[in-house]
């Protein structure tokens, strides 16, 4: 049963909506694992819009870091999103210049523990490295980290979909 999907694209490209429809096509009662840390009112409103889209058929789990702490064996689980999840690891220590290699290894280890379960995993992530190079060193570091994380997840995924303007483009699988 184990299968891994990666849904990637830019902001407001339709990633989450596509992933939610995919999850519901695979299970009448999927799990929604939200990784967001709510840091301000505007972001809280974004989260509320996502929550309002989902019905009672979803089991909801809020988990900022330790995905593997949850048993999802036999379930379809949508993790939204890897971008915010990675962000939670980067700034856990409040160190602005986080160690990219250390954080990437922590993310991979946690992801490997989580995906050892016999489940269907749908990961949503942002493709933030498609624009120009940022003049901000912290942003460049995070862009590198997320790019490497996305490459890793894509390498272990059975299927990768790139969302562009609400259109799904199958990249792998």
* Nearest-angstrom CA–CA distance, 64 and 78: 14
- The predicted-structure confidence for 133-172, as pLDDT tens digits, reads as follows 888 888 899 999 999 999 999 999 999 999 999 999 999 9
Asked if 50 and 80 touch (Cβ cutoff 8 Å), the reply is yes
Reported as a pLDDT band with limits 50, 70 and 90, residue 94 is low
Higher pLDDT, 93 or 18: 18
Which CATH architecture is the domain 17-172 placed in?
3-Layer(aba) Sandwich (3.40)
Select which of 37, 50, 66, 70 is catalytic. 50
50 is a catalytic site residue: yes
The mean pLDDT of 15-19, rounded to a whole number, is 96
**How buried is residue 17: exposed, middle or buried, by Cβ count under 10 Å (0-12/13-18/19+)?**
middle
Query: How is the chain split into domains, by residue range?
Result: 17-172
What DSSP element (H or E) covers 34?
strand 31-34
| Those residues with Cβ within 8 angstroms of residue 106's Cβ, 6 or more apart along the chain or in another chain | 89
pLDDT at position 4 over 70: yes
* Nearest-angstrom CA–CA distance, 145 and 138: 11
Higher pLDDT, 72 or 96: 72
pTM for this one? 0.93
Considering 52-56, 86-90, 108-112, the range whose residues carry the highest mean pLDDT is 108-112
Q: Could you tell me the strand order of the sheet in which 31-34 lies? A: 59-62, 31-34, 76-80, 120-126, 3-9, 159-164, 167-172
- At residue 17, the pLDDT reads 94
- At residue 144, the pLDDT reads 94
Asked if 111 and 82 touch (Cβ cutoff 8 Å), the reply is no
- The predicted-structure confidence for 19-30, as pLDDT tens digits, reads as follows 999 999 999 999
Helices (H), 39-127: 41-53, 82-90, 100-115
Higher pLDDT, 91 or 161: 161
- At residue 147, the pLDDT reads 96
- The predicted-structure confidence for 32-64, as pLDDT tens digits, reads as follows 999 988 878 887 887 787 777 788 899 999 999
The mean pLDDT of 101-108, rounded to a whole number, is 96
């Amino acid at each position: 049963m184990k299968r891994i999907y990666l849904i990637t694209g830019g902001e407001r490209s339709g990633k989450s909506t596509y992933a939610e429809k995919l999850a519901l096509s695979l299970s009448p009662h999927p799990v929604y694992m939200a990784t967001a840390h709510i840091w301000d009112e505007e972001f809280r409103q974004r989260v509320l819009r996502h929550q309002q889209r989902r019905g009672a058929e979803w089991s909801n789990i809020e988990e900022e870091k330790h995905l593997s702490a949850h048993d999802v064996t036999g379930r379809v689980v949508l993790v939204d999103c890897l971008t915010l999840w990675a962000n939670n690891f980067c700034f856990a220590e409040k160190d602005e210049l986080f160690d990219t290699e250390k954080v990437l290894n922590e993310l991979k280890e946690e992801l490997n523990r989580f995906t050892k379960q016999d489940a269907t995993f749908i990961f949503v992530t942002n493709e933030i490295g498609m624009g120009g190079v940022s003049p901000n060193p912290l942003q460049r570091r995070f862009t590198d980290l997320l790019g490497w994380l996305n490459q890793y997840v894509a390498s272990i995924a059975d299927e990768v979909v790139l969302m562009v303007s609400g259109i799904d483009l199958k990249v792998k699988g």
